[in-house]
Chain A
């Protein structure tokens, strides 16, 4: 911590750490200074000239992203001079901008739109024709590039240069023909490419996955935690429920990272961002008994029917790190404290193991194995479980949010058939969903409140973004129901 100094912002005496950038210090007290190129994580090249402020004593207006707070500094962000300077800077940014807001996916969350409404000229002085550049350029598997909309703030090139160090984007050309381009011979296909869409303040880089799906002003935003790996990146779930005909009927439209410097910084990986697929596909909606006689049950009938089956010897439980801390606590009181079983199987097997790197991605592709560990639960080996199943030692197999066909491959169906009674609890049906004896619908993580403990032991809260489908209940509620039926 540097020493705290006094300075003046718009005539009001304020305190800030010495050496802090004026743009940040102003943001701390709620004064938003317009900016494109400055990004807290990507540095301050000072090329957009939007964050201009008036500093007493300086001969010319200064850029606030390169001016540091010092004792006695007197800054004005709302004087006529500042407004005029910002309006002229914005006018120059718009010289070659196509103004195709109606068809641009960024509109509604665009820096050009926002600042134009605030400080725009409202009268164009440009008489020359606009410079035409490339449109609809496929930059990579997830990103679409439109060079005309670009304001050349270089945030995206700084991201690929400094954060991922993969250098797929660069600035090419000079003067009016200067443009962002994909480096020849490369595609923007690094594991974090989606973040360039977030850092882009305009519609130059847009999401291919989200392209033309929903207008951003229809979306509801809910704070959540990415369940894609053990990192537990803070995210915002953007959902579209008011107009279900958009986004091909999918309720979750996109995921965006939330800033949390302790966990994920400003970023999230593409696996998490685009990996959610369709959460509503193949959902379990009803409490079902599939064999011997197919019937729809009420939750209470199901609990009283399952209670004697769970009490028998030979119960094995396959769980997964998708369970929240609350779920694990209820899990423990049902299976460990009440039923006193030994066989838990929830470790990350090949079905839940994937690529990892030094930036964010972790090997375990489930969010909450640490939560089980914190409660003292230990996972048995899946190979041993397979052997027990083959030997006929397991009479009841309780599977929670896990696709067995991905754990055991082709053998899974025959192994599952060996268990007398098999119960599937989870949001989705998975590949073997029809081979189970009972199916209990549970809520997906976007349909419940809960907490995940990440691999470092940091607990993150995710909130309910959508209402559950059908009769689905949170996992902890199902465990509690069974526990009450048993006692």
Chain B
């Protein structure tokens, strides 16, 4: 591909920008516009009238965090109808993972048609960058990032590792202890 050059023009410095006064008035104008618009909207709704909602500051962590519908949160391993984990230990998620935070070991599955299953499945959430590639790579829809949990923290790096029963939801994650 040929390299193309585009010259970016610098903003010109005029007398108006030099004395700052005009720019300050412009900036404060924006601030005050938001103030009065929100004041109007909040007052209108306080009086029980219909209209657009005013902006509010989320009081996180006192109030729960508001997550988007498609936010990528903690991983969750899914199960088949018969209760066995869906994961067939193909290691595609481990391969695609850019942070190398997934560690899987495989074994024979009791069902010959399934062939293979995970013996251990660990995700180190301390290393995970929440890119979602593992979900994309999974050919059997065994891993989702929809546990709606973002407050993942621990006192040690070891406690950041979630194992298979914890990811499946069979066993609650033990709270991390300091020291």
Contact = CB atoms under 8 A, between A and B. Distances in A.
A212 B108 contact: yes
A129 to B, nearest CB: 14
Contacts of A245: 103, 105
Given A135-B113, A136-B112, A102 B105 contact: no
Interface stretch (B40-48, B72-80, B88-96): B88-96
Nearest to A244: B103
B152 to A, nearest CB: 22
A220 B39 CA distance: 66
A212 B116 contact: yes
Given A212-B89, A245-B103, A245-B105, A103 B113 contact: no
B140 A102 contact: yes
A103 B95 contact: no
B112 A103 contact: no
A245 B94 CA distance: 12
A217 B95 contact: yes
| Range class of the B interface residue count | 10 to 19
B115 A103 contact: yes
Interface residues of A, number: 14
Interface string A213-245: 001011000000000000000000000000101
Given A135-B113, A135-B115, A136-B112, A103 B89 contact: yes
A474 B95 CA distance: 35
A332 interface: no
Contacts of B112: 135-136
Contact of A246 (B105, B115, B140): B105
A373 interface: no
B144 to A, nearest CB: 17
Contacts, number: 34
A434 interface: no
A217 B90 CA distance: 12
B95 A215 contact: yes
A101 B92 CA distance: 11
A323 B114 CA distance: 46
B88 A103 contact: yes
B107 interface: yes
A50 to B, nearest CB: 26
A100 interface: yes
Contacts of A218: 95
Contacts of A103: 88-90, 114-116
Most chain A beta-carbon contacts within 10 A, residue among B88, B115, B139, B140: B115
B106 interface: yes
A98 to B, nearest CB: 9
Nearest to A215: B91
B95 A100 contact: no
Contacts of A212: 89, 106-108, 116
A100 B103 contact: no
B48 to A, nearest CB: 58
A101 B28 CA distance: 62
Contacts of B92: 102
B105 A100 contact: no
Contact of B115 (A100, A215, A217): A100
A103 B105 CA distance: 13
B113 A102 contact: no
Contacts of A135: 112-113, 115
Contacts of A100: 115
Interface in B98-121: 103, 105-108, 112-116
Contacts of B105: 245-246
Contacts of B107: 212
Nearest to A148: B113
A218 B113 CA distance: 25
Interface string B132-154: 00000001100000000000000
Given A135-B115, A218-B95, 20 more contacts: A101-B90, A102-B88, A102-B92, A102-B139, A102-B140, A103-B90, A103-B115, A135-B112, A135-B113, A211-B108, A212-B89, A212-B108, A212-B116, A215-B95, A217-B95, A243-B94, A243-B103, A245-B103, A245-B105, A246-B105
30 contacts: A100-B115, A101-B90, A102-B88, A102-B90, A102-B92, A102-B139, A102-B140, A103-B88, A103-B89, A103-B114, A103-B115, A103-B116, A135-B112, A135-B113, A135-B115, A136-B108, A211-B108, A212-B89, A212-B106, A212-B107, A212-B108, A212-B116, A215-B91, A215-B95, A217-B95, A218-B95, A243-B94, A243-B103, A245-B103, A246-B105
Interface of A: 100-103, 135-136, 211-212, 215, 217-218, 243, 245-246
Interface of B: 88-92, 94-95, 103, 105-108, 112-116, 139-140
Nearest 4 pairs of A and B residues by beta carbon = A102-B90, A212-B106, A103-B116, A103-B115
